[in-house]
Amino acid sequence: MPENKAMQQNDIKAIDGFWRAANYLSVGQIYLLNNPLLREPLAPADIKPRLLGHWGTTPGLNFIYAHMNHQIAARDLDAIYLTGPGHGGPGLVASAWLDGTYSEVYPDVSRDEAGMQRLFKQFSFPGGIPSHVAPETPGSIHEGGELGYVLSHAFGAAFDNPDLVACAVVGDGEAETGPLATSWHSNKFLDPAHDGAVLPILHLNGYKIANPTVLARIPEEELEALLRGYGYQPHFVTGDDPERMHPAMVETLDRVLDEIDAIQQRARHDGDTTRPRWPMIVLRTPKGWTGPEEVDGKPVEGTWRSHQVPMKDVREHAAYLEILESWMKSYRPEELFDEQGQPFDWLTTRTPTGARRLSANPHANGGLLCRPLDLPDFRDYAIPVEAPGQTKAESTRAMGRFLRDVIERSHELRNFRLFGPDETASNRLDDVFAVTDRAWNAETLPTDEHLARGGRVMEILSEHTCQGWLEGYLLTGRHGLFACYEAFIHIIDSMFNQHAKWLDTSQDIPWRAPIPSLNYLLTSHVWRQDHNGFSHQDPGFIDLVVNKKASVVRVYFPPDANCLLSVTDHCLKSRDYINVIVAGKQPQPQYLDMDAAIKHCTAGVSIWEWASSDDGLEPDVVMTCAGDVPTEEVLAATDLLRRHLPELRVRVVNVVDLMKLQPENEHPHGLSDSAFDSIFTLDRPVVFAYHGYPWLIHRLTYRRTNHHNLHVRGYKEEGTTTTPFDMAVKNQIDRYHLVIDVIERVPGLKVRGAHLRQQMEQRLIEHEQYIREHGEDMPEIRDWRWPSLPGNVTSDA
């Protein structure tokens, strides 16, 4: 036998050994409480009373892991492993235990018989670990509990990590999901010169819970066309005989890793800028490979019946117990584990060590690698504000200038990107194009603008892909911001949920280092979707967000550009949160100079004394606003009240940080009851104009003293294609309705304010007539300033 042939045989023996050991440990996790090394014949008491877990996907995951190990060791690769299929936990945990990593981070689960018993027992057991590749699993940045995001996570991880190979196993179930189906196109956004590589491995094991999968049941030439159409070069590895499959996988991985290397060499050293056809692997193996072939006369291996636990009720059926024992023994544990239960050295002689282990790669614990952003001083981007409400500006444009310089300063570390579905310019953030471009690796035309391979603005018309890329980028320790139309951020509701849960769990895992926060800018918001109409009007993402743990979520409504700058700076510095910033892109009045903005944002909620007429006394009414459009309407209403009813003591309160409203025992930002009462009074009417659905404010404040005097206006699904001000009118959050609200609620004002009320009602009629004739808002609305221009409204005073 020639030497290299012999070496390969030895390699394959070690790979197969690792694989058998991982499979053995996976089955053990699903079934066993005790007797982990099968020293005694299996007895019913050795079996868990409640059998949970998913065997079907596991042997394939273990197979890939074992083979990747070999390649990493041979090539000194820097690689991470993303597990797309759901419930792959036992496999990845088994491998991490074999790697030694598991015992390093969980010393109690030692790398010996006692640890093996704990490893088995803890799986899907109260007080133990979940069945997914969860935050608890070393080496994971991707839980896979919800399906569809493995490729976008992998690409997010690979961006700006030129030496990284993100090995992404795509389940053929998850391949049916929309987010996964479009995320294949991420290869048009990857720069082979500055980004790392993603190696997709489509694992066709053929079945979901109870059905075949679509991609496993189309002709291979059709599947190949699909994957070539996605821009990949697929390599097929198909079979069920380990003796043939091991060499096939070694050779295929060799070939695709060589191809990846060649692509990167061409881009990095030969200046080849054509979009490469990246290689990928289609691995077709039986579902539940190496598991029981048949149970109760029905085929199990290679069918959907091995999706979860192949035999249930093993305690009750001696025949099942026998199948289980011979199944586990088929891995020949005596060759794998020594007397102490430690894996024999021969299993791991050709596996990587230290940080090269898939289970210990620091990219999968990205906080470890995180470098803080080199932020410019946000004060330098301040909009000058001589007096409140006299000038107009587009708030997001100021933010765009700040982000431009954030990007410029990140050029060296390459640790910041801006994400969004084709709306960076529309959202007035286009100053960033002075220093960067949109990432684009597909064809270009001479008329194109701001498209480049190395661009740091990520635009694809898939909110799912934007979100997935950003999550992958953050989880590997970099920074970013996702700017999105407010209504359509709901598209990623479920991804938000999963990321919030990941953060929540991670915060309690000592070895997981904090990662940069996920920052959203929600703009083109509900109040300025007058032109796009009803389908574009939905502020409900906030309601979803505040369902999640207070330790994770933050929601901000900066009322103007300087506040937006202050909030953005704060969010970009934070860790382990999800920050939601809601701010409009249209020209709007500016209220606070930078010092005042910083003070206001630091407080989170404050009384705007310059707008108030309570002179530090108990007010007659508290006018409260959260959101830029509500702020303008509250100020305009206050302006009307002050001029028409000058003796009325009005207090104006602005809320930037929504979480301030919650009780302090429910959110760390929550105001104490005394602070809340001192702002909102004990018994005066509070008229609250809120950006979103009004009931959220009640939900946050129902335990507060003065809650029964709280009257909230917000969006109540009254919308259509109309003018901006008419959106406010339709939802009764406009200045005229707010004045009427005050007149109705302040004791004694019904009579004194009757004339003003009539004027307001008249104004509403005039508004309706005007917009129906002219198609735009009345000049007095469009040109409103604080305090209003004289002559707009006749004063009664």
Per CB under 8 A, the list member of 26, 35, 183, 359 interacting with a copy of itself is: 183
Comparison of 173 and 310: residue with beta carbon closer to a copy of itself: 173
Per CB under 8 A, the list member of 64, 80, 167, 180 interacting with a copy of itself is: 180
Q: Fill in the per-residue mask, 4 to 33: x = in contact with a copy of itself (CB under 8 A), - = not in contact.
A: -----------------------------x
Q: How far is CA 609 from the centre of its chain?
A: 39
Q: What DSSP assignment string belongs to 703-718?
A: TSGGGGGEEEE---S-
Contact 481, 464 (CB under 8 A): no
Comparison of 329 and 531: residue with beta carbon closer to a copy of itself: 531
Comparison of 320 and 591: residue with beta carbon closer to a copy of itself: 320
Comparison of 225 and 355: residue with beta carbon closer to a copy of itself: 225
**Which candidate, 655, 638, 630, places its Cα nearest to that of 724?**
630
Region of 18-26, 61-69, 260-268, 439-447 interacting with a copy of itself (CB under 8 A) = 439-447
Per CB under 8 A, the list member of 425, 503, 634, 739 interacting with a copy of itself is: 425
Tell me how far apart the alpha carbons of residues 704 and 674 are, in angstroms, rounded to a whole number. 10
Q: Is 268 in the site for a copy of itself (CB under 8 A)?
A: no
Per CB under 8 A, the list member of 2, 219, 748, 790 interacting with a copy of itself is: 219
Q: Is 734 in the site for a copy of itself (CB under 8 A)?
A: no
Contact 239, 158 (CB under 8 A): no
Q: Is 505 in the site for a copy of itself (CB under 8 A)?
A: yes
Per CB under 8 A, the list member of 13, 75, 118, 185 interacting with a copy of itself is: 185
Q: How far is the CB of 296 from a copy of itself (least distance, A)?
A: 14
Comparison of 54 and 684: residue with beta carbon closer to a copy of itself: 54
Q: How far is the CB of 24 from a copy of itself (least distance, A)?
A: 21
Q: Nearest-5° angle of CA 412, CA 415, CA 419? A: 125
Q: Is 276 in the site for a copy of itself (CB under 8 A)?
A: no
**Which candidate, 651, 633, 644, places its Cα nearest to that of 743?**
644
All residues at 6 or more sequence positions from 234 whose CB lies less than 8 Å from its CB, including other chains: 202, 223, 224, 227, 228, 279, 280, 281, 282
Q: Is 236 in the site for a copy of itself (CB under 8 A)?
A: no
Per DSSP, 123 falls in state B
Comparison of 224 and 664: residue with beta carbon closer to a copy of itself: 224
- Positions 538 through 597 that interact with a copy of itself (CB under 8 A): 538, 540, 543-544, 547-549
Structure tokens at 380: 């330098």
Contact 331, 21 (CB under 8 A): yes
Q: How far is the CB of 345 from a copy of itself (least distance, A)?
A: 33
Residue 765 class from Cβ within 10 Å (0-12 exposed, 13-18 middle, 19+ buried)? exposed
- Positions 28 through 57 that interact with a copy of itself (CB under 8 A): 33, 48-50, 52
Q: How far is the CB of 692 from a copy of itself (least distance, A)?
A: 9
Phi–psi pair at 486, nearest 5 degrees: -60, -45
Comparison of 469 and 608: residue with beta carbon closer to a copy of itself: 469
Q: Fill in the per-residue mask, 121 to 160: x = in contact with a copy of itself (CB under 8 A), - = not in contact.
A: x--xxxxxxxxx-x--------x-xxxx------------
- Positions 447 through 486 that interact with a copy of itself (CB under 8 A): 447-448, 451, 459-465
Per DSSP, 64 falls in state H
- Positions 672 through 701 that interact with a copy of itself (CB under 8 A): 693, 695-696, 698-699
- Positions 508 through 537 that interact with a copy of itself (CB under 8 A): 531-536
Q: How far is the CB of 657 from a copy of itself (least distance, A)?
A: 19
Neighbours of 694 (CB within 10 A): 21
Q: How far is CA 108 from the centre of its chain?
A: 32
Q: How far is the CB of 230 from a copy of itself (least distance, A)?
A: 6
Contact 264, 279 (CB under 8 A): no
Per CB under 8 A, the list member of 717, 761, 766, 796 interacting with a copy of itself is: 717
Q: Is 303 in the site for a copy of itself (CB under 8 A)?
A: yes
Helix/strand/coil percent split, the chain, to 5: 45, 15, 40
- The SS3 call for residue 543 is helix
Identify the residue whose tokens are 């790669």: 361
Q: In terms of DSSP bridges, do strands 621-626 and 650-655 run parallel, antiparallel, or are they unpaired?
A: parallel
Q: What DSSP assignment string belongs to 557-591?
A: ---SHHHHHHHHHHHHH-BS-EEEEE---SEEEE-
Q: Is 179 in the site for a copy of itself (CB under 8 A)?
A: yes
Comparison of 327 and 693: residue with beta carbon closer to a copy of itself: 693
Q: How far is the CB of 173 from a copy of itself (least distance, A)?
A: 5
Q: How far is the CB of 768 from a copy of itself (least distance, A)?
A: 8
Q: How far is the CB of 285 from a copy of itself (least distance, A)?
A: 16
Q: Is 174 in the site for a copy of itself (CB under 8 A)?
A: yes
Region of 11-19, 93-101, 224-232, 249-257 interacting with a copy of itself (CB under 8 A) = 224-232
- Positions 66 through 125 that interact with a copy of itself (CB under 8 A): 87, 121, 124-125
- Positions 350 through 369 that interact with a copy of itself (CB under 8 A): none
Q: Is 182 in the site for a copy of itself (CB under 8 A)?
A: yes
Tell me how far apart the alpha carbons of residues 258 and 739 are, in angstroms, rounded to a whole number. 72
Q: Fill in the per-residue mask, 385 to 424: x = in contact with a copy of itself (CB under 8 A), - = not in contact.
A: -------------------------------------xxx
Comparison of 459 and 741: residue with beta carbon closer to a copy of itself: 459
Per DSSP, 350 falls in state T
Q: Fill in the per-residue mask, 748 to 777: x = in contact with a copy of itself (CB under 8 A), - = not in contact.
A: -----------------------xx-xxx-
> Binders of a copy of itself: how many residues, by CB under 8 A?
119
All residues at 6 or more sequence positions from 777 whose CB lies less than 8 Å from its CB, including other chains: 723, 724, 725, 726, 767, 770, 771
Structure tokens at 487: 């209504």
Per CB under 8 A, the list member of 334, 493, 683, 783 interacting with a copy of itself is: 493
Q: How far is the CB of 128 from a copy of itself (least distance, A)?
A: 7
Q: How far is the CB of 522 from a copy of itself (least distance, A)?
A: 14
Per DSSP, 657 falls in state B
Buried b (16+ CB within 10 A) or exposed e, 150-181: bbbbbbbbbbbbbebbbbbbbbbbbbbbebbb
Where residue 543 falls (left for φ over 0; alpha for ψ -120 to 50; beta otherwise) is: alpha
Per CB under 8 A, the list member of 41, 44, 107, 178 interacting with a copy of itself is: 178
Contact 99, 285 (CB under 8 A): no
Per CB under 8 A, the list member of 8, 34, 426, 507 interacting with a copy of itself is: 426
Phi–psi pair at 713, nearest 5 degrees: -110, 145
Tell me how far apart the alpha carbons of residues 742 and 512 are, in angstroms, rounded to a whole number. 51
Per DSSP, 448 falls in state -
Q: How far is the CB of 507 from a copy of itself (least distance, A)?
A: 12
CA distances from 518 to 467, 483, 507, 617, 642 (A): 9, 11, 14, 41, 42
Q: Is 371 in the site for a copy of itself (CB under 8 A)?
A: no
Comparison of 19 and 688: residue with beta carbon closer to a copy of itself: 688
Comparison of 158 and 491: residue with beta carbon closer to a copy of itself: 491
Q: How far is the CB of 409 from a copy of itself (least distance, A)?
A: 25
All residues at 6 or more sequence positions from 400 whose CB lies less than 8 Å from its CB, including other chains: 428, 429, 430, 431, 432
Per CB under 8 A, the list member of 88, 90, 156, 231 interacting with a copy of itself is: 231
- The helix or strand, by DSSP H or E, that contains position 327, with its residue range, turns out to be helix 318-329
Identify the residue whose tokens are 């009851």: 673
Contact 621, 684 (CB under 8 A): yes
